[in-house]
């Protein structure tokens, strides 16, 4: 009670009242400016439902891995092998569903994609756990272990496939890729509405919990504004993806396949891609792990002060194995999305992804010195990188220049971050 | 009366260098025992065998007369031994509550970390230890030396330590904060805790301790009741390794 009256005379800014992260706001602002700029330069071709749809499905693979990279970097490690783990998982899954299992079960068997996915995730997690064991228990620096892994696993994948491109992948498996697997307009609205309700419920449950302990809570209007903002953003996103119509030629093919004739003037929106749902599920799960589990707490504590964590009874060696195994599993998940988007496995899948993933995490505010980073920041970082790249491609920037710009943006973003942290002092 | 802690004949060597060489010390409930000596005398190393950070090469540790094995910090905590390290051992990027409960988080019935309950508990104990403490939301990096010290102490006190190890508790503090820590030590002593106080500040030790054990070059010089010796005699023990002469 006394606290509340003491605080009252102090004028608080809007962001403070809403308890918004100013750093995140800055990133969202930069992202919006970027999008608007590209939209103007391309005469309105950038912010179309079609491009937004493509942008989203192109971001998924890197974004999924970036969430795992946050844990790795927060723990003061690095993983240079994510692109190669993606490749070896993808090779395993492709071989299982195209070469090995069909000989036993027959092509088109419903278990093909399930077995492939499970095996891929297992391979990814096992390779990650091996890296974690080398780093944690044998004390080999993560940089070296994963630099070795970068060379080893892509080429292990090469031996699995004899360097051949393996495809086409199982039709059910291809649902995870993007355009081949979308919810359609109706179910997208259902999912969007449920997500909006869930977001609102989460905001108000947190408020009730705080009030129960007698902590200060935000004013009601602020809470309501946040709820509307969250729900509005979710529904606007769904509306945009629903507005992108499946090309007529493709619809005709679908009708033809069912032995029907497409009615005149028929159209259908894509809606939410399954891969985006996977990313959202990963984002929610990883955020919960980071904020609400002991494991996540220990990851951040170890990054902040490894000795303190160790002295507090945290098994930091085992923790290292776990975060690398998690990273490996997420690489395999990305492999599912990436290979099914391409509808085949080729040996160069995920090449240079390690750099995109690290850049996404770092642009998203993950500090290489450890202890600081957020899941949503990393995903936003991946989105910014992808927008920059495809925006420049649309404008017609030469591909060497594209890479130069992306590189410069990475360095500049980290510099701005350092300045920001210095200005705001320890309140990071 | 059986001592609360007995460390018997402890030795530990690092690559041939004997950091601690057959040292025995003990501690009773409601007593503060100072461990004195120069840097590198082996006092921190000795006490780390009790807090679980190191394992002794030989010797035994008895708690209330029973021999125990302390292999890691978790074992030490299980015997209600809490340590406040010189470096404070705080994760700078986490807030006070997360640090206080690090390794022993309160959880909801579903097994998730219950931050709100931990913050409420932290507020409760801080109201007792350091009523001026208000920065519950900031990472502990933003706290002053004294505030950080109170987080470290709160961590030991909250979990009902019976044996408290304080490694240079006032090294980084101003006079006001040093006084606060001194008062707290007296309070904890009254509550019946046994406290090992490691220091190289002889005035601290003379003011706060009941007995002192002096170490030099990894060996125990001797253990004396503070009331029986002068500052100069203690200094002679530290510098020359010479025990006071009894009349």
Tens digit of each residue's pLDDT (9 = 90 or more) over A316-331: 999 999 999 999 999 9
Q: Exposure string (b/e) for B97-135, b if CB count within 10 Å is 16 or more?
A: bbbbbbbebeeeeeebbbbbbbbbbbbebbeebbeebeb
Residues A213, B89: C-beta atoms closer than 8 Å: no
For the ranges A191-205, A243-257, A292-306, B185-199, which has the lowest average pLDDT?
Answer: A243-257
- Coil, strand or helix: which one is B66? strand
Do A378 and A63 meet the contact criterion of CB atoms below 8 Å apart? Answer: yes
- Under CATH, to which class is A15-181+273-423 assigned? mainly alpha
Residue B243 confidence (pLDDT) above 60: yes
Contacts of B214 (CB under 8 A, 6+ apart): B36, B37, B220, B221, B222, B223, B224, B234, B237, B238
Residues of B with CB under 8 A from a CB of A: 51, 53, 72-74, 77, 83, 85, 87-94, 98-99, 102-105, 107, 111-113, 116-117, 119-120, 138-139, 141-142
Q: Domain-by-domain residue ranges, chain B?
A: 1-80+163-247, 92-160
For the ranges A27-41, A79-93, B50-64, B128-142, which has the lowest average pLDDT?
Answer: B128-142
Per-residue pLDDT band for B53 (boundaries 50, 70, 90) equals confident
**How many residues in total does chain A contain?**
428
Which of B87, B98, B116 is the closest to A209 by Cβ?
Answer: B116
Instruction: Tell me the mean pLDDT in the region B66-72.
Output: 89
Residues B89, A294: C-beta atoms closer than 8 Å: no
Residues B73, A311: C-beta atoms closer than 8 Å: yes
Chosen from A3, A295, A313 to mutate, greatest number of chain B CBs within 10 A: A313
Per-residue pLDDT band for A192 (boundaries 50, 70, 90) equals very high
CA-CA-CA-CA dihedral for B2, B4, B7, B8, to nearest 10: 10
pLDDT at A148: 97
Within 13 Å, how many C-alpha atoms sit on residue B75's CB side? 15
Per-residue pLDDT band for A6 (boundaries 50, 70, 90) equals very low
pLDDT at A3: 41
Residue A62 confidence (pLDDT) above 50: yes
- Tens-digit pLDDT profile for residues A20-33: 778 888 889 999 99
Percent of chain A with pLDDT over 90: 60
Residue A1 confidence (pLDDT) above 60: no
Q: Domain-by-domain residue ranges, chain A?
A: 15-181+273-423, 183-272
Q: Identify the residue with better confidence: A420 or A341.
A: A341
Q: How many CB pairs under 8 A join A and B?
A: 90
Residues B116, A311: C-beta atoms closer than 8 Å: no
Contacts of B167 (CB under 8 A, 6+ apart): B44, B47, B83, B84, B85, B86, B198
Per-residue pLDDT band for A252 (boundaries 50, 70, 90) equals confident
Per the prediction, chain B carries an average pLDDT of 87
Chosen from A7, A207, A303, A311 to mutate, greatest number of chain B CBs within 10 A: A311
Residue A66 confidence (pLDDT) above 70: yes
Phi, psi of B53 (to 5 degrees): -75, -35
Which of B74, B112, B141 is the closest to A293 by Cβ?
Answer: B112
H-helix or E-strand spanning residue B76:
helix B73-78
Residue A91 confidence (pLDDT) above 60: yes
Q: Measuring CA to CA, how many Å separate A251 from each of A57, A258, A263, A273?
A: 20, 11, 10, 17
Which of B74, B91, B141 is the closest to A301 by Cβ?
Answer: B91
pLDDT at A261: 79
User: Minimal CA–CA distance to B71: which of A217, A10, A313, A368?
Assistant: A313
Nearest-CA distance B145 → chain A (Å)? 14
Q: Please give the Cα distance from B98 to B91 (Å, whole number).
A: 9
Q: Please give the Cα distance from A116 to A92 (Å, whole number).
A: 7
Chosen from A73, A305, A424 to mutate, greatest number of chain B CBs within 10 A: A305
For the ranges A50-59, A196-205, A362-371, B199-208, which has the lowest average pLDDT?
Answer: B199-208
Residue A39 confidence (pLDDT) above 90: yes
CATH architecture of B1-80+163-247: 3-Layer(aba) Sandwich (3.40)
Nearest-CA distance B31 → chain A (Å)? 25
pLDDT at A425: 58
Per the prediction, chain A carries an average pLDDT of 89
| Residue B75: burial class (beta carbons within 10 Å; 0-12, 13-18, 19+) | middle
User: Minimal CA–CA distance to A276: which of A185, A181, A373, A390?
Assistant: A181
Per-residue pLDDT band for A288 (boundaries 50, 70, 90) equals very high
pLDDT at A71: 97
Instruction: Tell me the mean pLDDT in the region A189-198.
Output: 94
Per-residue pLDDT band for A15 (boundaries 50, 70, 90) equals low
**Residue B8 carries which DSSP code?**
E
- Tens-digit pLDDT profile for residues A128-182: 999 999 999 999 999 999 999 999 999 999 999 998 999 888 888 888 987 888 8
Chosen from B72, B77, B103 to mutate, greatest number of chain A CBs within 10 A: B103
Chain A residues within 8 A of B118 when measuring between CB atoms: none
Per-residue pLDDT band for B112 (boundaries 50, 70, 90) equals very high
User: How high is the ipTM of this complex?
Assistant: 0.82
- Cα B152 to its chain centre, rounded Å, is 11
Residues B111, A293: C-beta atoms closer than 8 Å: yes
pLDDT at A11: 55
Residue A375 confidence (pLDDT) above 60: yes
pLDDT at A275: 93
């Amino acid at each position: 009670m006394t606290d509340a009256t003491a605080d009252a005379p102090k004028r608080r800014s809007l962001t403070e009242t809403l308890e918004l992260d100013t750093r995140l706001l800055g990133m969202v602002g930069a992202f919006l400016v970027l999008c608007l700029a590209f939209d103007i330069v391309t005469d309105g071709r950038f912010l179309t439902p079609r491009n937004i749809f493509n942008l989203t499905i192109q971001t998924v693979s890197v974004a999924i891995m970036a969430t795992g990279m946050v844990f790795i970097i927060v723990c003061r490690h690095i993983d240079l092998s994510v692109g190669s783990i993606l490749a070896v998982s993808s090779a395993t899954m492709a071989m299982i569903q195209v070469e090995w299992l069909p000989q036993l079960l027959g092509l088109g068997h419903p278990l093909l994609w399930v077995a492939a996915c499970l095996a891929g995730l297992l391979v990814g997690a096992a390779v990650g756990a091996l890296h974690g064991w080398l780093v944690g228990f044998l004390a080999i620096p993560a940089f070296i272990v994963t630099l070795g892994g970068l060379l080893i696993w892509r080429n292990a994948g090469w031996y699995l496939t004899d360097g051949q491109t393996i495809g086409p992948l199982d039709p059910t498996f291809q649902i995870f890729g993007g355009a081949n697997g979308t919810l359609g307009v109706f179910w997208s609205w259902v999912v969007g509405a449920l997500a909006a309700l869930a977001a609102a419920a989460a905001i108000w449950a947190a408020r009730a919990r705080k009030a129960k302990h007698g902590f200060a809570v935000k004013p009601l209007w602020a809470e309501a504004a946040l709820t509307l903002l969250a729900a509005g953003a979710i529904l606007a996103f769904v509306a945009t993806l629903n507005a992108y119509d499946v090309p007529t030629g493709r619809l005709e093919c679908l009708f033809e396949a069912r032995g029907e004739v497409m009615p005149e003037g028929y159209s259908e929106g894509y809606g939410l891609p399954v891969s985006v749902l996977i990313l959202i599920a990963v984002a929610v799960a990883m955020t919960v792990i980071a904020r609400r589990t002991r494991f996540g707490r220990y990851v951040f504590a170890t990054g902040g002060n490894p000795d303190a964590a160790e002295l507090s009874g945290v098994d930091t060696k085992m923790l290292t194995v776990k975060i690398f195994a998690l990273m490996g599993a997420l690489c395999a998940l990305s492999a599912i999305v990436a290979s099914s988007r391409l509808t085949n496995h080729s040996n160069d899948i995920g090449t240079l992804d390690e750099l995109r993933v690290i850049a996404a995490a770092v642009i998203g505010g993950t500090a290489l010195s450890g202890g600081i980073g957020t899941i949503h920041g990393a995903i936003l970082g991946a989105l910014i990188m992808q927008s920059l790249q495809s925006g420049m491609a649309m404008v017609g920037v030469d591909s060497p220049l594209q890479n130069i710009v992306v590189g410069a943006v990475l360095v500049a973003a980290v510099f701005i971050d350092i300045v920001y942290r210095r200005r705001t002092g320890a309140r990071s | 009366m059986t001592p609360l802690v007995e460390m018997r004949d402890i030795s530990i060597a690092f690559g041939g260098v004997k950091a601690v060489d057959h040292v025995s010390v003990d501690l009773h409930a409601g007593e503060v025992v100072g461990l004195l000596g120069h840097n590198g005398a082996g006092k921190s190393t000795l006490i780390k065998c009790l807090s679980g950070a190191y394992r002794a090469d030989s010797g035994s540790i008895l708690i209330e007369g029973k021999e125990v094995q302390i292999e890691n910090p978790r074992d030490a905590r299980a015997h209600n031994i809490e340590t406040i390290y010189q470096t404070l051992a705080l994760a700078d990027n986490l807030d006070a509550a997360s640090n206080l409960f690090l390794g022993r988080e309160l959880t909801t019935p579903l097994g998730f970390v219950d931050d709100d309950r931990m913050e409420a508990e932290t507020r409760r104990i801080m109201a007792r230890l350091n009523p001026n403490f208000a920065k519950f939301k900031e990472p502990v990096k933003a706290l002053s030396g004294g505030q950080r010290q109170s987080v470290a102490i709160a961590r030991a006190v909250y979990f009902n330590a019976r044996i408290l190890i304080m490694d240079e508790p006032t090294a980084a503090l101003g006079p006001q904060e040093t006084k606060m820590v001194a008062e707290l030590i007296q309070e904890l002593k009254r509550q019946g805790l046994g406290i090992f106080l490691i220091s190289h500040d002889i005035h601290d030790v003379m003011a706060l301790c009941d007995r002192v054990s002096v170490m030099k070059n990894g060996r125990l010089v001797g253990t004396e009741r503070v009331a029986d010796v002068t500052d100069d005699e203690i200094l002679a023990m530290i510098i020359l390794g010479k025990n006071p002469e009894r009349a």
